[in-house]
Every structure is written in C-alpha cells, then in structure tokens.
Structure 1
Amino acid sequence: MVITDYFRKFIHNSQSSGILLIICVAVSLLIANSSLGPAFQNLLDTKIGTEMFDLNYSVSIWINDGLMAIFFLLVGLEIKREIVEGELSSLKNASLPIVAAVGGMVVPALIYFFFNNGTEYANGWAIPMATDIAFSLAIISLLGKSVPVSLKIFLTALAIVDDLGAIMVIAIFYTDQIHWTYLALSALMVLFLALLNFFNFKKHIFYLIPGILLWYFMHHSGIHATIAGVLLAFTIPTNVSATEISPLEKLEQKLHLPVSFLIMPLFALANTNITFKTGMVDGLFSSLGYGIILGLFLGKLIGINLFSYIFIKLKISSLPYKSTWPQMLGTGLLAGIGFTMSIFIALLSFKGHSEIQDEAKFAILIASLISGISGYLILKNFRKTTLDQD
C-alpha cells in the first residue's frame, strides 16, 4: 500500500492538535463555570469590524464564519488532493471509506429523526452525521503501531468524505434566505477562479484575494460563508507528480499548523463554554439527548460497519490492509466523536436558542466521550488479545 507523506503528516498533526483540543475544551468549560464566565461571554459578544461594508460582527461570528472558512479551505484541499492522487483517486480505493461514510451519515440521521420528528428539535437531524478528524485520529494514534496504518488511512478518508457530506448538508439545508444578487456574484467569482486555474496561474495570491471576495459575497448571499473555503480549494491547481510540489500541496502545508493549532483551538474555546445548569443532565434523557447520543454512538457504529460489510461481501471493497472486523468496530466507534462539526451544525440548527444549543453541545460532548473511550478500549483490548495469541 502506498502511503503518502501528506497522510503521515496529517495523522501526526491530528494527534497533536486533538490533544490540544481536549485541553481547550476543558479550559473553556472551566472558564464558563467560574467567575470569569460572564466576562468571557461578553468578549465573544464584542463586535469588531466596520459598518461601511456591513462587516461589523461579534468575535464568535468571526470565529465561526470567518476562521472556520479557512478550516473548510484546508478540508477542501485535502478532499481534492485525495480525489486526484490519493485514497479517493480510484473507485477500488475509495469505495470502502466512501460507502462507510455514507452509512455513517444516513443511520445517525435516521436515529435522530426517529426521536425528534415533529418536535422543536427536528431541525438538528444532521448533528450526529459528523465525525471530528482531529479527535478521532488523535485517539487512534495513541495506540501506536499496534493499529495498522491502513486503518488510520481508512478513518481519515472516511472523515474527509464525512466532512464533504456535512458541507453539502449545510449548504442545502441550513440556509435561511438566499440573496440572489450576492449568490450570482459568488458564482462569477468561482468562474473567475476556475479560469485562473485553467490558464495555469500558480501563485497563491491570485487565488486568495478573489477567495476573500468569494467569502464576502457568499456570506451576504445567505448560504453559510464557510462553503466559500471549499469552493476556493477546488480551484487551486494540483498535479499527480511525485517530484513536483503543486500549489495545492504548498498551501495545504502552510495551512496545517495555523488550522490545527490556532483556528481549531479557538473554535473549541469559543463554542464549548457551556455553563452547567440545573436540569442540564436531564436534557440528556430528552429526545434531543437520545437523538444525538445514540446517533453518534450507535448510529456511526452500525452505519459504518453495516455498509462496509455489505460492500465487502459483494466483493466491491475489501477490509483495510492487515485490519480485522473487531478493529473496524472500534474504528466505527471512534467515528462517533462528532465534536467540531457536530457543534458547528448544532449552532446552525438552533440559531437564537442558546439554551437548546447548550443542551445539544453537552450531549455532543457526552456522546463523543463515550464513543472515544469505547473505541479506544476495543482497539486496545483487541491488540492485547492479538499479542497474547502471538
């Protein structure tokens, strides 16, 4: 199996950034439940920017709509690279993580729908669809060489496809009102970027400046501005050469550190500042809590492994190299760590309802904790069993 340097670097960065994210979550929760909580919330609500171009937003909006667009730019670059030259470049290689990702999105959404159809929480059906790349890879990486690299690649590719699915869901289902003039300007900007690619412009500056305008137009169109990051990514030039580093690969390398060690930690600090209130634990036993926790914990496990099993039995796909079904079960549980994307979708699902947002974020944290610990224990126990047999 050919393992690209980019996958090795991505896995390494994800392990380190995942640990940092855990620390940021703990710090955010501590701040929110201390005397610093109100001051921290006031900081997040502070508006910065200019009224001249209608860009006067709170700190939290700049993080969630602005900085997260850079996160999605990196995700888009990874998706495009893997489609062109990596794990998603052929149907044989891509079939298992793609079909597993589809199962891991459909089954959790159905479980959430079962519990919440017709309730005030119905709009959050996409919350348990998402997998957090950084956290899931951080945990699987803690097991070291006892877990096949192919399994880490499978989980990475699955999470990337999962992110693409989440991006499409946000664009289609979480858009409140479309302003067609700005949307048309966004389309023209994408066309301009595509022409730059066609005429082989390679310097990043030619893409990043129009990319900022694309973000501005997309933000004012009504479609969530983070989509601009993905659209921009798909216009960045790349190649299949093993010797020449493409503009896409160069930009990807430059973005990994700031995204992993600045943007994601800031997102975690800003969006997990949950103030624990009386009755919040009871919310875990509401239809919202059941939908999120069972969707992430059981939905991901069942969806990923059921769809994988069907395609492997049909001989369309095969298990990752040197991996086994017990390891696939553990990997399916790790995919139930929804954190970043799940919280992001929860914020969009329940705009203007801070109490519901907090309940959803708390349920996501609990579900991610259960999934992460369960997946780690299964993979660790299977490793011990294998070593004992050897």
Structure 2
Amino acid sequence: MNGSFPPRSALRDFLSSESAGGMLLIFAAILAMIVANSSLAPAYHHMIHAVTGPVLTAKLGPMTVHLWINDGLMAIFFLLVGLEIKREFVDGRLASWDRRRLPFLAAAAGMAIPAALYLIFAGTTPGLTQGWAIPAATDIAFAMGVLALLGRRAPTSLKLFLVTVAIVDDMGAVAIIALFYTAKINLLALAAAAAVLGAMFAMARLGLKSLPLYLLAFALLWYAMLLSGVHATIAGVLAAMAIPFERTPGSPDSQSSPLHRLEHGLHPWVAFAIVPLFGFANAGVDVSGLTAEQLVAPLPLGIAAGLFLGKQIGIFGSVWLAVKLGIAGKLRGATWLQIYGVAMLCGIGFTMSLFIGGLAFPGDPLLVEEAKIGILMGSLAAALIGFAILRFAPLHPEHDAVERETDAEIAADGDVEDTSEDISDDQEPITA
C-alpha cells in the first residue's frame, strides 16, 4: 500500500471495480447455494465452522472461520466504507448540502419504509422485532454488478446516484449496528478502544503519515472493540475517521495522502476477496426441503417485503417528491422508468442484510436461516425485475450526449459536479 498508483480518476476506478466485484459476489452467492444444496453441504458447513484460532473473547468463544470472516475481515470492509464516507463528505459527491440533499432523502426513506413494512409483516410475532433493520440495507456491490450487465444502457447518472445513496445507507447501517446490536458493554475495553482511537487522531494531528503505524493501531482498536461488546466491525469506520486525508478538488488523488493510498490499496482486496468470501460463507442456505408455508412465514416474508416493496417505494417515492416539490433536480440523462428501475435495484440487500441478520438473532440459528431465505427472496426479486426494467426501458432522448459529457467530466476531474438537472427547468411527466 506504500506504492504509487496512476493519477487517474478514482471515480472511474471505483465504478469499474465495484461492478466487477459485484459480479464476483453474485457468482460466490450462487456457488454457495449450489454447494449448500448438494452432497458437499456437510463439508461446506464443517469448513465454515471449523475452529482456526484461540479464544479471543469469552463471549465469542473459539474463533471459527465464520467468525474470522464476519468479525475480522468484515472490519476491513467497514474500514473501506469509512474511508469512502470520509472522502465523499470532505472532497466528493457529498461535500456540500446541495449535493447531499437528494441521496440523504432517498436513503432515509429507503431505510425507514422497509423497516416499517418488516414490522407490519413480522413485528407482531414474538421474538422477531429485533430484525427490523435487516431489510433497511442496500448492497452496492451486488447492485453495481447488475448494472454492469447492462453496459452503456445504464446512464452514469444512475450509477452515481446508486453509489451516493448506498454510501449514505452504509452510514445508517453502521449507526444501527452500533446503537441497536451492541451486547453488554465492557467499560474497561471500551476505554481502551477510546484511548487507541484518541492516539490515532493525535498521530494525524501531528502530521504522521505512516500507514503501517495506522494499521497497527487499527488492529489494536479492533481487538479492544471485540472485547468491549460493541461489534468489532465498528472499529473499521472509527479508524477511517482518523486516517489523514489531503483534499484534491478537481484533480486525481494525491499519492501522498494516506487515505487515498489506503483506499486504493484496500479496494481490490475488499471487492474481489473479502466481500465474495463473506457472500460464500453466509449465503449457503439449504432450500431443498422448503415448503410454501416456510416461504410465507412472518420473518422471511417481512424481510422480502421490506427489500422488494419498501426500497422501491421509499427511494422512488422520495426522488419523485423531491423533484416535484423543487427540492432537487431530476437525474440527467435518465427517464423516470430508469430511475424506478434503479430504485428497484436498491432492494438488493444481501451483504449488509446478511450481516445484520446474524446480529439480530445471534442465539437462534433457525431464525438466522429464515432471515437468509427472506434476504435471498427479496434481493433476487429486486435484482431480476430491476434488471428487466432497465434492460427494456427506452433510453432518454439525450442519453448519448449526456454520457459523452459525463465521461469527459470524470476523465478530466475525477468527479462530476452534479448528476441532476436544474430544478428550475420544467420537469417532464412520469413516463418512460
């Protein structure tokens, strides 16, 4: 991670690597389902739950492959999420309130309505209320993988909108995990974590830019958080906030910026290894004996309804209202039908939903499996129908011109100033 990287658009790299990583994640999820429903299922489950490390905490017990992936490697995933959030708020597409308005509204509605639908379908069943956050998350990698299959038919403005909504969505998911899925607090360990984090901010304040030093502190912070009762992956986001960052407005990333170097170094590992590995380890559900009654049980039905119905209602509805009320402009080069299609794709919860599902029902493997079924049903329906809408939706009359303009902006500046039309323009009716 100390090496250099070419001075090209980080945004272009991000979109291409997220798309390719998403396609790999799709493959990993399909492979897990095939293996879990074949003669290899016993070996698959034995491998995932094999003990591979010492007893790091009395709460977790011996570290299995599954725990190392979910509590260890996913902390690196959250570190990258934190780096991307920090970059976007300081020097990216969320750097001003004008540019935050639409993705904030869309992400907020896209989390609240799925949670409400879940509670309507499953909240009245004893023991299921804590799963309300499972359908609130969007899987950016999976959704970008689906968009990649569409090639140039998917307007860049939709890709950028999806990325910004997912980043805000990730912020909400991190806050939910920290506030609602935290076990009994170990105050001594939490104090140690605070001390390590304070030391990291002090290092940044002193101008230290050594990435190995920050990564060592991140490892200590992760272990202290693991002992504290707050989920260990939160250490990734907290550590990211302390990594020094050099602003580079309107130009490629700085090779002397620790945040840029770490983000460039981590992204391929997260996109092509950690997230697909998480998908493979968590998506393996035995569906061979499923009955219709099990598919429409409150838990899977609530999750599927939240992802498939809640996301499209919340995100498309909020965008439509924002445009009609003059709060924001319509996405450039995209028709309303295409915007509806990408709102549908936001119903792919997968990675974050699987992660939250494991936290919501930690002591009940049967409920975790039911949650996985609901996640797979809702995500698959959202992916297939969202893809079909975008594949067959007529293109915007100015599609080619807007794409050429956006490509030039990305190549020149590493970012685009705005992906929406001027809100003073007359808005077109809601048609394809």
Q: TM-score, normalised by structure 1?
A: 0.94
- The residue aligned with 1:233 is 240
- The residue aligned with 1:376 is 387
CA distance in 2, matches of 1:286, 1:252: 42
- The residue aligned with 1:11 is 15
- The residue aligned with 1:78 is 84
CA distance in 1, matches of 2:378, 2:314: 16
The question of 1:136 aligning with 2:106 is answered: no
- The residue aligned with 2:132 is 125
> 1:349-390: CA deviations, max 9, x gaps?
111211211121112111111101111111122136869xxx
1:313 Cα shift? 2.8
- The residue aligned with 2:114 is 108
CA distance in 2, matches of 1:184, 1:259: 29
CA distance in 1, matches of 2:131, 2:348: 17
| Contact map agreement 2:341 2:386 (CA 8 A) in 1 | yes
CA distance in 2, matches of 1:5, 1:176: 41
Q: What secondary structure does 2:238 align onto?
A: helix
- The residue aligned with 2:279 is 268
> 1:121-157: CA deviations, max 9, x gaps?
2111001000001110111122222322111001001
- The residue aligned with 1:42 is 46
Q: What is the aligned counterpart of 1:96 among 102, 111, 124?
A: 102
With over 3 angstroms needed to count, the CA separation of the structure-2 counterparts of 1:53 and 1:172, relative to structure 1, is: closer
Q: What secondary structure does 1:336 align onto?
A: coil
1:201 Cα shift? 1.1
The question of 1:337 aligning with 2:344 is answered: no
The question of 1:32 aligning with 2:36 is answered: yes
Q: What secondary structure does 1:299 align onto?
A: helix
| Contact map agreement 2:133 2:356 (CA 8 A) in 1 | yes
Q: Structure 2 matches for 1:67-216, cutoff 5 A? A: 67-119=73-125, 120-216=127-223
Q: Structure 2 matches for 1:350-361, cutoff 5 A? A: 350-361=361-372
With over 3 angstroms needed to count, the CA separation of the structure-2 counterparts of 1:52 and 1:316, relative to structure 1, is: closer
CA distance in 2, matches of 1:7, 1:250: 14
Runs of 4+ in 1 over 4 A off after TM superposition: 51-55, 384-387
CA distance in 2, matches of 1:93, 1:322: 17
- State the one-letter code of the partner of 1:313: K
CA distance in 1, matches of 2:230, 2:122: 25
| Contact map agreement 2:49 2:66 (CA 8 A) in 1 | yes
- State the one-letter code of the partner of 1:38: P
| Contact map agreement 1:11 1:141 (CA 8 A) in 2 | no
1:52 Cα shift? 7.5
- The residue aligned with 2:428 is none
- State the one-letter code of the partner of 1:290: L
1:277 Cα shift? 4.7
CA distance in 1, matches of 2:394, 2:207: 49
With over 3 angstroms needed to count, the CA separation of the structure-2 counterparts of 1:95 and 1:48, relative to structure 1, is: same
> 1:280-332: CA deviations, max 9, x gaps?
54322122122111110110001112222232233222222222321111110
Q: What is the aligned counterpart of 1:249 among 242, 260, 278?
A: 260
| Contact map agreement 1:146 1:383 (CA 8 A) in 2 | no
The question of 1:297 aligning with 2:303 is answered: no
Q: Which sections of structure 2, spanning at least 5 residues, go unmatched?
A: 1-7, 400-432
With over 3 angstroms needed to count, the CA separation of the structure-2 counterparts of 1:52 and 1:324, relative to structure 1, is: closer
| Contact map agreement 1:33 1:274 (CA 8 A) in 2 | yes
CA distance in 2, matches of 1:118, 1:363: 17
> 1:73-118: CA deviations, max 9, x gaps?
1111111101111110011111111110011000000000111223
| Contact map agreement 1:7 1:153 (CA 8 A) in 2 | no
CA distance in 2, matches of 1:158, 1:268: 22
Q: Which sections of structure 1, spanning at least 5 residues, go unmatched?
A: none
- The residue aligned with 2:4 is none
Q: What is the aligned counterpart of 1:288 among 299, 303, 315?
A: 299
1:172 Cα shift? 0.4
Q: What secondary structure does 1:234 align onto?
A: helix
CA distance in 2, matches of 1:129, 1:369: 16
Identity %, equivalent residues? 43
- State the one-letter code of the partner of 1:131: T
CA distance in 2, matches of 1:267, 1:53: 22
Q: What secondary structure does 1:383 align onto?
A: coil
- State the one-letter code of the partner of 2:345: L
Q: Which deviates the most, 48-57 or 31-40?
A: 48-57
- State the one-letter code of the partner of 1:8: R
CA distance in 1, matches of 2:139, 2:289: 29
| Contact map agreement 1:83 1:89 (CA 8 A) in 2 | yes
Q: Output the aligned Cα RMSD.
A: 1.8
